[in-house]
Amino acid sequence: MNILHIDSAITGEDSVSRKLTAEIVSRLRAANPGAGVTYRDLNTGVPAIDTDWFKAVRLAPANPTAEQQALVATSDAYLREVQDADVLVIGSPVYNFTITAQLKNWLDQIARAGISFRYTEAGPEGLLKGKRAIIVYSAAGTPMGSEMDFASGYLRFMLGFLGITDVEFVAADRLAYDREAGLARAHAAMDRLAA
């Protein structure tokens, strides 16, 4: 088993999502001795896609410049980590009712037509099939699944668009109102996860 462990919180050691993703990865490794883990901390910076990225990655010039080659290499590295993973454990704290900018940038980097998805006569088809995603949803005041939650539905849809349809959530929400209850719900959800 290959595990891709992704964190995106900006709050460092105080991050609830970071603590919970680490615990999930620990449980997966305990149940699957020999599992490999690739760790990616998106808070260290994920380049946003822009016109230069589009010209380098999407248009794929025959003779790319050194700068274009670097942009392609970065995007390829993110995508390769996902392609190589059997399980993705993604920390997704909610900031301003949605996912972090870093996590959105990462999704933009790996959404590559012809590589991670393609358009067919029947509609779009995700090409990253056969993977499982466990998402830690942490929020101070945004209940998961509520009308103000623009994070969980987007993540489920976007991963499904890329072919990852086995998506489970561990929610530590409403932490500003009752932190202990929110953490207890998250740990109960972790206990229900199949290792």
Please provide the distance, in angstroms rounded to a whole number, between the alpha carbons at the two ends of the chain: 11
Distance between CA atoms of residues 192 and 195, nearest Å: 9
Summarised one tens digit per residue, pLDDT across range 118-147 is: 999 999 999 999 999 999 999 999 999 999
Residues 6+ apart with CB under 8 A from 113: 58, 119
Predicted TM-score (pTM) of the model is 0.95
CB 195 within 8 A of CB 32: yes
**16 has binding-site annotation:** yes
Summarised one tens digit per residue, pLDDT across range 15-60 is: 999 999 999 999 999 999 999 999 999 999 999 999 999 999 999 9
DSSP 95: B
User: Which class is 2-192 in CATH?
Assistant: alpha beta
Mean pLDDT for all residues in the chain: 96
Distance between CA atoms of residues 152 and 171, nearest Å: 10
CB 25 within 8 A of CB 5: yes
**15 has binding-site annotation:** yes
Taking 90 as the threshold, does the pLDDT of residue 104 lie above it?
A: yes
